[in-house]
Amino acid sequence: MNRRVLLVDDSALIHRLVATWLKCDQIEVVSAYTGDQAVELAVLHSVQVILLDVEMPDTNGFEVCRRLKSESSCVNIPIIFLTGASSPEDRVKGLDLGATDYITKPFHPAEFQARVRAALRTKHLLDLLQQRAQIDGLTSLRNRAYLDEHLSSELSRINRQSGTLGAIMIDVDNFKTINDTHGHLIGDEVLRQIGEVLNSQTRNEDIVARYGGEEFAILTPGVGHDGTYQLAERLRQEVEKIRIHTRNGLLRITCSLGVAYHDPNAPDTLLRRADQALYAAKRRGKNCVVVYDPNLKSMAA
């Protein structure tokens, strides 16, 4: 479990005290002294809890909390307000903005440590629930919700930092016939084995998901055009090696794949273009890879 907190306070003394207290629990402290630093560091670092002073010179903690909760990467990070004195109205305001707790100054070290540990446990449980909600139960790959969320994040990253992003759409050839001939249990086994191939042939950085039914999708950040195409061709060849025993003998599997690349002039079309390339591969006889090309008539059909 990652144990890292972001402390947002304009007092250097508070930073030294908190770092000393949390060091006993092997908790790393990332320091921010302004609201702008807080938002920047919260997005940049993988923190599990944010300790946020209510009163700061450049802005108040409520505004910083609002800004943090507007960032998709920070929505589920517990925020604990640090305050010298607060009215019940202020506490309600902070909690309504998304904070999970308040700690009143001067801090009692043992209570401070206990509240941070409790917030870390909360974040750990939230992460587990989120992970389970984003896993496809049959193939153990990510699901479409996860793919859509991370596609949005990748496109935002490219807009900020530039870079490349490819997409591969994959469809099992003749899947309805497989189900009708061999039954749905064999169909499920086909999907599981394809999922294993996709998982074993891709990098940790790639986003591999079951898109729905017999379709899969892969995002390939930072690979480049040649690399994405080569991955698609390698996947096609590996799927072709699958053999599944059925009552009717060995079942051989093939798939069709469509490839597309991020276009800065049309960033929201990446998956749609990959899907169009996929259907062009189907029309070309299946068991092949097609790269999106707007000039090909088969794409427009």
One-letter amino acid at 72 equals S
Catalytic status, residue 214: yes
Structure tokens at 91: 């506490």
Please give the backbone phi and psi of residue 158, each rounded to the nearest 5 degrees, phi first.
-65, -40
> Is 1:120 a contact under the CB 8 Å cutoff?
yes
If you write DSSP's letter for every residue of 223-258 in order, what string do you get? --HHHHHHHHHHHHHHHHT-EEEETTEEEE--EEEE
What does the alpha-carbon distance between residue 298 and residue 92 come to, in Å, rounded to a whole number? Answer: 59
Active site residue: 214, 233, 238, 240, which one? 214
What does the alpha-carbon distance between residue 289 and residue 240 come to, in Å, rounded to a whole number? Answer: 13
Spell out where the chain has E strands: 4-8, 28-32, 49-53, 79-83, 101-104, 165-172, 207-212, 215-221, 243-246, 249-252, 255-261, 289-291
The helix/strand/coil state of 196 is: helix
Positions marked active-site: 214
